[in-house]
């Protein structure tokens, strides 16, 4: 009899404990999911992921009194809009060329006052280079630029952030460089651009080199024949689509020949006149 009572008491105790735990679980508020951290806005663009054959042609270091008008005439004939990254010193000399470019629908970007290596300068020095050019562009066209391209593509990550925060600029680089500053000849410039351009490309060239301007009629004809459509850099950025996540490649078993082999290297050639 005593054993039976002890067994019943133990069973009742276990049942009561289980019941209390169930009540505590039911009364506890559910954990809230932590809000997702908002993604940082993209500041720098070398190319853009787009849904369509859209590209942006860009021309640096002008305006040039002799060459920029020829390029504007050609672009007007093709009904093509491009983006000019201009030098402040040249803007002050030839404001009428910038007014014409803006009037005809081309985009104007800041390329510094005198084309120095901004990455090697103090913040105040960089600020003066950009502000003077910003003011010159606004005085010539009535509108301030929203894009900037660092000379030589030279800018530190910290500089990119404070320039974006202070001026509101998006930093524009490139993924197609025909190295026209080396003056390889119009045919080479044309072939390099046509070969390397892909949907979403930002093409670098310069409207201060005669060979570049000579290359443009054939370049534009061939790009159009391949189905490319020309937009300004800001228009290209507005077309941006999210990029598909990249899957990690499967690891391959090392072969005896691969063990101890030197790793492949790659080099990037920056345009001295970028």
Catalytic: which of 60, 61, 180, 207? 60
Neighbour tally for 147: CB within 10 Å: 22
Instruction: Look up 135 and say whether it is catalytic.
Output: no
- Do 170 and 146 form a contact (C-beta atoms < 8 A)? yes
Catalytic: which of 180, 206, 207, 209? 206
Please enumerate in sequence order all residues whose Cβ is within 8 A of that of 50, keeping only pairs 6 or more positions apart, or say none.
199, 200, 236, 239, 240, 241
DSSP states along 217-257? HHHHHHHHHTT-EE--HHHHHHT--PPPPPPPPPPPPPPTT
Instruction: Look up 73 and say whether it is catalytic.
Output: no
DSSP 37: P
What are the structure tokens assigned to 77, written together? 């004939």
CA 203 to chain centre: 12
Alpha-carbon distance 14 to 2, whole Å? 19
Question: Which residues participate in catalysis according to the annotation?
Answer: 60, 206
């Amino acid at each position: 009899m005593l054993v039976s009572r002890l067994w019943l008491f133990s069973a009742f105790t276990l049942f009561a404990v289980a019941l209390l735990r169930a009540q505590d679980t039911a009364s506890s508020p559910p954990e809230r999911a932590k809000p997702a951290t908002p993604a940082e806005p993209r500041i720098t663009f070398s190319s853009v992921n787009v849904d369509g054959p859209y590209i942006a042609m860009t021309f640096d270091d002008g305006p040039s009194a002799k060459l920029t008008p020829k390029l504007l005439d050609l672009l007007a004939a093709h009904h093509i809009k491009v983006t000019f990254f201009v030098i402040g010193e040249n803007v002050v000399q030839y404001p009428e060329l910038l007014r014409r470019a803006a009037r005809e629908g081309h985009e104007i970007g800041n390329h510094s006052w005198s084309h120095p290596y901004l990455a090697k300068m103090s913040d105040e020095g960089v600020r003066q280079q950009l502000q003077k050019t910003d003011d010159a562009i606004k005085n010539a066209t009535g509108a301030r630029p929203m894009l900037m391209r660092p000379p030589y593509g030279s800018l530190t990550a910290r500089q990119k952030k404070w320039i974006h925060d202070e001026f509101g600029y998006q930093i524009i680089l490139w993924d197609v460089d025909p190295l026209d500053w080396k003056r390889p000849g119009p045919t080479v410039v044309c072939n390099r651009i046509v070969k390397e351009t892909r949907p979403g490309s930002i093409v670098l060239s310069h409207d201060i080199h005669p060979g570049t301007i000579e290359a443009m009629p054939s370049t534009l004809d061939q790009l159009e024949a391949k189905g490319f459509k020309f937009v300004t850099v800001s228009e290209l950025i507005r077309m941006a689509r999210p990029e598909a996540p990249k899957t990690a490649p499967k690891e391959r078993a090392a072969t005896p020949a691969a063990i101890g082999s030197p790793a492949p290297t790659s080099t990037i050639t920056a345009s001295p006149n970028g």
